[in-house]
Amino acid sequence: MSAVMEETGWAKINLALHVRARRNDGYHEIETLFAFVDGGDGIVAEVADADRLTIEGEFAKGLSDGADNLVMQVLALLRARYGTDRVPPLAVTLTKHLPVAAGIGGGSADAAAMARLVRTHFLPELGDAVLARIISPLGADIAACVASTTCLGVGVGEELRAVPELRLGGTPVLLVNPRQPVATGPVFAAWDGIDRGELFGDPAGRAQLLAARNDLQRPATAQCPAITDMLTELGALGPWLARMSGSGATCFALFDAAATRDAAGVRLAQSHPHWWYMAGALR
């Protein structure tokens, strides 16, 4: 075991998100295609005499470094199951490169990264399914973030199905956020209640992805009108798909070539230097 342990909370995007029904428990039945970008928040940890969390980075301000942080809650859940002998106290540094309340995983991605780090160094016998089940109380998209590969999520997003026929790994992607947080709860609450149909038939395909949608775009745009501007400008720069992720406000564009993605990023940064950008590829 190395003295310093590292893991990445990969940025999550929802390539499509169909809301099918509102449940009595306050959650919603959804169908969503999760994908992950090869960049995100960083986690570094070392064995220590007690758990402690330090948060750094551009988007660290306002985040709790206490026991209520999802990263620390992961440690608590794994230690409660396997004991201090298996999961020792850790000094953790979380570097927040991703904006908060942005529809790209955030706390769930960081929690999943912490879980993978502990698994790699202390609990190597655990598979993704077991690891996700242990920390699933922390969020509906935790299971997808543990695997951090393209998959279809149903139920409240926790039931995962492989979609190998899409073959999206390596696709150039550009993420854009107007640096305006959008709260998930109010966006789901403002969904109009209309079931507009399933996300994919069988098998899933690129044409079906292009015909899909994000049912939360309208209520998210009511909170953050800049979403419309981002999608309009992204769509004019040559992607084969541009859409809002999750509950917003981050929007993404998928390109056929990295050079086209990079040129789009340069043009947007020149006209909107205050926006946040991340260029990468799908994992």
List active site positions. Answer: 12, 141
Which of 13, 16, 30 is CA-nearest to residue 208?
16
Whole-angstrom distance, CA of residue 166 vs CA of residue 111 = 27
Can you tell me the distance from the alpha carbon of 276 to that of 88, in angstroms, rounded to the nearest whole number?
37
Interatomic CA distance for residues 148 and 140, integer angstroms:
14
User: What whole-number distance in Å separates Cα of residue 37 and Cα of residue 278?
Assistant: 9
Answer whether 180's CB lies under 8 Å from 67's CB.
Answer: no
Strands (E), the chain: 5-22, 28-47, 52-56, 90-95, 151-154, 159-162, 172-177, 241-244, 251-254, 276-281
CA 256/CA 281 separation, integer angstroms: 11
Smallest CA-to-CA distance from 115 within 95, 96, 131 is with 131
Q: Are 151 and 162 in contact (CB under 8 A)?
A: yes
Sorted by sequence, the CB contacts under 8 Å of residue 102 that are 6+ apart come out as 177, 181, 182, 245, 246, 248, 249, 250
Instruction: For residue 181, say if its preceding peptide bond is cis, omega within 30 degrees of 0.
Output: no
Calpha distance 242→9 (Å, rounded) = 23
